[in-house]
């Protein structure tokens, strides 16, 4: 099948992330496997600087974020040609602990075709190049979380 | 002159005190030149300009690039979505 | 935290698999990442013997399957000590193309702690040792799908 | 004598024509001995007995094992869930 006819979903939304719906929308008749990553707001962080989080506030440069999500999907398809459907969703706004904030899902006919690796690659790339930021609000104050990745030309 | 729209996000927006700015720039100004100009006019972002990410028409852009006509320019810290 | 206080869900069910609910039930305040695998009924299979499937009929040796799902979860925790919650669900009965039939989900504080590998291991082990079988019904007849794995002593 | 409950699944159940069977076995019978007995009494499963998986009280068990008292014995082909 041509990549253009394969389902690819990008979304930046203030609504709840519905895993059932998203997986269904990237399932074809030939699909037998889906690997899905979701990230949630951690209320308690132990690694690094131990701290509590009251909530996170997400914002995005929406039109560019949508284009970069498309780029992440294109990169996934270029690397794993068995991938059938891709969904990339970022929830923005004020999000409380235990709430899913992001989803990457990839489907394929079989599980040994790169679906797991593709989902992992997708979340890693989203955190590198998709223009979204989060501000952490905790009992001790608020601060912007900053990533570390510096995009290169062509990214 | 080149009329451009600047969009600021996260820490850069906080320090600029605004989400966006319309500017008239010399026709051959580079990203580097734009950063210098903002550093002068907005001292609060001077430090941020060293590590800021810059986009031109929603693609990452770098110091030497000349800013195209009527560009939409984004300025923000390294991303932290997910 | 002691493994005994961490959420572990096993289920063999005739009901729809609800991803949202299952992920929520294995999300702790300290959770920041979930890797989820779901398998679906393929209506069209291209790899190997190309064929169409009308539906699959699953059956399980239920009490043993539950014990073996627990064993898979124990094996996951022994290998990846960062894993917080685990859900392993197999849907049985008559299932049509595009329907999710199985789910393995693992949560952890961060995504680089083995969640992806743990979910992958979980589905691989389920397909080796958990006593569940499927009969494939197609326009050309029906046949039992047989696995290849021969469990060893202690498995 | 040892009273055991046999449970059959998938192809084995189809060939046995039943889901379960209650049997009286000699006290020291092994899994291997049980397979031989079933092969004789149910010729349809003779071929299947070569590759059948056997469980005793819901744990995989192997030819040499002596069947414990009042065991629940499962017999089935390699699993194919998922």
pLDDT surpasses 90 at A85: yes
Interatomic CA distance for residues D24 and D4, integer angstroms = 6
pLDDT surpasses 80 at C97: yes
Q: What percent of chain C has pLDDT over 70?
A: 97
pLDDT surpasses 80 at C140: yes
Q: Are the beta carbons of D78 and C148 separated by less than 8 Å?
A: yes
- 3-state helix/strand/coil string of A93-115: EEECCCCEEEEEEEEECCHHHCH
Least CB–CB distance from D76: residue in C63, C131, C153: C131
- The tens digit of pLDDT for each residue in A86-142 reads 999 999 999 999 999 999 999 999 999 999 999 999 999 999 999 999 999 998 899
The mean per-residue pLDDT over the stretch D21-36 comes to: 97
CB C137, CB C57: distance < 8 Å: yes
Confidence band, pLDDT 50/70/90 cuts, at residue C2: low
- Looking at residue D70, what DSSP letter applies? T
CA C72 centroid distance within chain = 10
Q: Are the beta carbons of C42 and A29 separated by less than 8 Å?
A: yes
Please name which of C26, C22, C40 lies closest in space to residue C109, comparing C-alpha atoms.
Answer: C26
Angle, CA D35 vertex, CA C132 and CA D82 arms, to 5°: 10
- The tens digit of pLDDT for each residue in D8-27 reads 999 999 999 999 999 999 99
Least CB–CB distance from C36: residue in A32, A36, A123: A36
Contacts of A47 in chain C (CB under 8 A): 109-110
Q: What percent of chain B has pLDDT over 90?
A: 99
Please name which of A66, A55, A109, A77 lies closest in space to residue A4, comparing C-alpha atoms.
Answer: A77
CB C77, CB C4: distance < 8 Å: no
pLDDT surpasses 90 at C141: yes
Q: Are the beta carbons of A42 and C19 separated by less than 8 Å?
A: no
Residue A139, CB-side half-sphere exposure with 13 Å CA sphere: 5
Show which residues on chain C lie within 8 Å of chain D, measured between beta carbons: 39, 58-61, 63-65, 67-68, 90, 101-102, 123, 126-135, 144-153, 155
What is the DSSP code string of A11-65?
EEESSPP-HHHHHHHT--TT--EEEEEEEE--SEE-SSS-EE-SEEEEEE-HHHH
pLDDT surpasses 60 at C1: no
**Residue A114: predicted pLDDT:** 98
How close B11 gets to chain A, by Cα (Å)? 7
- Looking at residue D34, what DSSP letter applies? H
Assess A110–C contact: CB distance below 8 Å, yes or no.
Answer: yes
CB C131, CB D74: distance < 8 Å: yes
CB C135, CB D10: distance < 8 Å: yes
Interatomic CA distance for residues C107 and C119, integer angstroms = 9
**Residue C3: predicted pLDDT:** 62
**Residue C49: predicted pLDDT:** 86
Which residues have a Cβ under 8 Å from the Cβ of B51 and sit 6 or more positions away? B77, B78
How close B7 gets to chain A, by Cα (Å)? 9
Which residues have a Cβ under 8 Å from the Cβ of C10 and sit 6 or more positions away? C66, C69, C70, C73, C88, C89
Alpha helices in chain B (DSSP H): 10-16, 31-41
Cβ contacts below 8 Å, chain A against chain B, sum to: 81
Asked if chain B contacts chain A via 3 or more Cβ pairs within 8 Å, the reply is yes
CATH of D7-76, one of 1.10.260.40, 3.10.20.30, 3.40.50.10490, 3.40.50.300: 3.10.20.30
Q: Are the beta carbons of D10 and C147 separated by less than 8 Å?
A: no
Please name which of A39, A38, A31, A37 lies closest in space to residue A113, comparing C-alpha atoms.
Answer: A31
Confidence band, pLDDT 50/70/90 cuts, at residue C139: confident
- The tens digit of pLDDT for each residue in B21-47 reads 999 999 999 999 999 999 999 999 999
Residue ranges covered by each domain of chain C: 18-142
Q: Are the beta carbons of B81 and A130 separated by less than 8 Å?
A: yes
Cβ contacts below 8 Å, chain C against chain D, sum to: 81
Least CB–CB distance from B60: residue in A123, A134, A151: A151
pLDDT surpasses 90 at A2: no
Contacts of C123 in chain A (CB under 8 A): 111
Interatomic CA distance for residues C39 and A110, integer angstroms = 9
**Residue A5: predicted pLDDT:** 87
Which residues have a Cβ under 8 Å from the Cβ of B64 and sit 6 or more positions away? B30, B31, B32
Please name which of C11, C8, C35 lies closest in space to residue C90, comparing C-alpha atoms.
Answer: C11
Q: What percent of chain D has pLDDT over 70?
A: 100
CB D63, CB C72: distance < 8 Å: no
Show which residues on chain B lie within 8 Å of chain A, measured between beta carbons: 7, 9-11, 14, 53, 55, 58, 60, 62, 74, 76-82
- Which secondary-structure segment (H or E) carries C108? strand C100-108
Angle, CA C56 vertex, CA A86 and CA C54 arms, to 5°: 80
**Residue C61: predicted pLDDT:** 98
CB D29, CB D36: distance < 8 Å: no
Q: Which CATH architecture has domain A18-142?
A: Alpha-Beta Complex (3.90)
**Residue A3: predicted pLDDT:** 62
Interatomic CA distance for residues B2 and B66, integer angstroms = 11
- The tens digit of pLDDT for each residue in A40-63 reads 999 999 999 899 999 999 999 999
Confidence band, pLDDT 50/70/90 cuts, at residue C13: very high
Angle, CA B1 vertex, CA A154 and CA B5 arms, to 5°: 50
Question: With a threshold of 0.90, does the pTM exceed it?
Answer: yes
Contacts of C30 in chain A (CB under 8 A): 42-46
Q: Are the beta carbons of A43 and C30 separated by less than 8 Å?
A: yes
- The tens digit of pLDDT for each residue in C55-92 reads 999 999 999 999 999 999 999 999 999 999 999 999 99
- Provide the angle, in degrees to the nearest 10, between the axes of the packed helices A115-129 and C115-129: 170
Assess C37–A contact: CB distance below 8 Å, yes or no.
Answer: yes
Three-class SS of residue D82?
A: coil
**Residue A77: predicted pLDDT:** 98
CB D64, CB D30: distance < 8 Å: yes
How close C128 gets to chain D, by Cα (Å)? 6
**Residue A32: predicted pLDDT:** 98
Pairing of strands A100-108, A33-40: antiparallel
């Amino acid at each position: 099948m041509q990549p253009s006819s394969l389902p690819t979903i990008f979304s930046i939304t203030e609504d709840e992330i519905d895993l059932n719906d998203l997986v269904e929308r990237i399932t074809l008749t030939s699909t037998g496997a889906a690997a899905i990553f979701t990230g949630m707001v951690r209320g308690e962080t132990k690694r690094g600087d131990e701290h509590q989080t009251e909530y996170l506030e997400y914002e995005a440069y929406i039109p560019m974020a949508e284009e970069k999500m498309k780029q992440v999907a294109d990169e996934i398809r270029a690397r794993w040609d068995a991938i059938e459907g891709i969904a990339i969703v970022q929830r923005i706004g004020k999000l409380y602990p235990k709430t899913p904030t992001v989803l990457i899902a990839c489907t394929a006919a079989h599980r040994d075709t790169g679906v797991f690796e593709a989902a992992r690659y997708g979340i890693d790339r989203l955190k590198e190049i998709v223009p979204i930021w989060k501000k952490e609000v905790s009992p001790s104050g608020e601060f912007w979380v900053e990533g570390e990745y510096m995009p290169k030309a062509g990214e | 002159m080149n009329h451009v729209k600047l969009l600021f996000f996260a820490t850069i927006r906080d320090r600029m005190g605004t989400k966006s700015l319309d500017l008239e720039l010399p026709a051959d100004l580079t990203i580097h030149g734009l950063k210098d100009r903002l550093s002068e006019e907005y001292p609060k972002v001077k430090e941020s300009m060293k590590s800021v990410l810059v986009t031109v028409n929603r693609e990452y852009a770098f110091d030497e690039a000349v800013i195209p006509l009527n560009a939409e320019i984004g300025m923000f810290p390294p991303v932290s979505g997910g």
